[in-house]
A and B are shown apart, each in its own frame.
Chain A
């Protein structure tokens, strides 16, 4: 049953972790896969820790529980490393992607001896360079796609181009910046 890739997102209310999960579901759907994208709701307030999930599979997905043993974890807000056990259940054959400007060595001590691959991306840098504002969504989405390999890079970029063209129909000037954010994120995640 492990033809399904499971991804868990950690963020804070208002940062767009839920949106990133829904975007990933969207783009995976568009390339022909079966998807789930869903948030776990706690108290709804800005800044509270939130979790969102993705299942992506070639076959129909029936399970409707949260994800406990994810293949990949994306941490949108590094301050959560202090308070949330982000590597809980995380497969050591998978990996974790942390949004941070700090070197990886400074992140590792927070990961409770996690044995899988650890990636970092400075979504702030990517976002400021390409969009001029801090929207961690697009860089984190691209980083997750790059690391997990759930969608081929070219297919992903093509679909995102189409998706932004639709979403920003009335603001076409932001499409290029968002696409650049995705492309730069592919280079910047290590």
Chain B
């Protein structure tokens, strides 16, 4: 039985970091970063953990220092949000291509402009092609649980990729909710010690990290990253099962809610899934066969698994909390529609944009989406919802 607590999402992730006691945490200590480095710095100052905290002058440097520490052989991480992540862009790719198993605690917030501090997924969705594993949370509990699983996935010998643990800015990061924490000894046993096979500080085996790759090498490196990302699928499932055996909360690529017999399904990521579940309960009470597919893992993209889970749906609403400005679908919409095409799905698909820049997503919004896909035939396939009238 876990420990009953109430924490904000930021506190929950900081607590997970404390329990893991990683070796090095470089972080930019002010906005746009989050309270997470602040809490961790507090744990270190109080002598509760012996993580080396490196305050740096920018997010470009925080990720650079994280990669340096990881290449040297340390278990390293950093935390950021929004434009802070944008400033890390170059290093995100460096992390993935050098196969450094670092973890980024990301609080999803809108990118400028207009200047906005609130939640959407434009930061991480923009980085979807950077080679990072991406795992999203509905609430504080999931942010905490996902973080505890991150190093097991990142450091697995078949994977060795960086992992981004995402949660919704303010909506979960700054909201205090009930949470069940896991005892320290159980966490330590689950996460385990990091024993890198190759690392810079190993004098027995000199190596180079991040050298120039001429054309004859670059493409093979990318193929290697691709294979690692595909391998990550089994590892994510295995770690999610093992986590379940330890905590009672199992995790996979997605969570279905009233999905099994649903004719009308909403596919959604993050905190809005909880809101949509309340809408499902209301509509189920009225006899409507609606359900939710909440995507937890966006990278690697579980295309076949999602298409299979949607095989009985008559109509599907794919919800994107980030623009991609193709003029058509958003990141989730486009990729999931491709997956449905390959699975020869004949379901009606509508891709909605919602919640950009913190625009509130209400139970009523979710109900309206369900009602639209259930009742109309010719629906505009790409739509903004929740706009002011």
Name A161-183 residues within 8 Å CB distance of B. none
Does chain A have a CB within 8 A of B363?
Answer: yes
Pick the residue among A35, A41, A62 that contacts B174 (CB under 8 A): A41
Smallest beta-carbon distance B10→chain A, Å: 12
Pick the residue among B118, B175, B176, B278 that contacts A62 (CB under 8 A): B278
- CB atoms of A41 and B176 under 8 A apart: no
Smallest beta-carbon distance A57→chain B, Å: 10
Name B78-133 residues within 8 Å CB distance of A. 117-118
Number of interface residues of B (CB under 8 A): 26
Residue of B nearest to A64 (CB): B271
Chain B residue numbers with a CB within 8 Å of A65 are 275, 360-363
Closest 7 CB pairs of A and B: A38-B175, A62-B274, A64-B271, A29-B6, A37-B176, A65-B362, A25-B176
Residue of B nearest to A57 (CB): B178
Does chain B have a CB within 8 A of A78?
Answer: no
| Residues of B that sit less than 8 Å from A by CB | 6, 117-118, 138-139, 168, 170-172, 174-178, 271-272, 274-275, 277-278, 281-282, 360-363
Chain A residue numbers with a CB within 8 Å of B6 are 25-26, 29, 35
- CB atoms of B278 and A63 under 8 A apart: yes
Pick the residue among A34, A35, A64 that contacts B275 (CB under 8 A): A64
Residue of A nearest to B282 (CB): A1
- CB atoms of A29 and B178 under 8 A apart: yes
Does chain B have a CB within 8 A of A68?
Answer: yes
**Could you show 15 A-B contacts with beta carbons less than 8 Å apart?**
A1-B278, A1-B281, A26-B6, A34-B178, A35-B176, A35-B178, A38-B171, A39-B170, A61-B177, A62-B139, A62-B274, A62-B275, A64-B138, A64-B172, A66-B362
Smallest beta-carbon distance A32→chain B, Å: 9
Q: How far is the CA of A34 from the CA of B6 in the complex (A)?
A: 9
- CB atoms of A64 and B176 under 8 A apart: no
Chain A residue numbers with a CB within 8 Å of B272 are 64
Q: How far is the CA of A41 from the CA of B138 in the complex (A)?
A: 20
Chain B residue numbers with a CB within 8 Å of A25 are 6, 176
Apart from A36-B177, A64-B275, A65-B361, list 20 A-B contacts with CB within 8 A: A1-B278, A22-B176, A25-B176, A26-B176, A35-B6, A37-B176, A38-B175, A38-B176, A39-B170, A41-B117, A41-B118, A41-B170, A41-B174, A61-B177, A63-B275, A63-B278, A64-B172, A64-B175, A65-B360, A66-B360
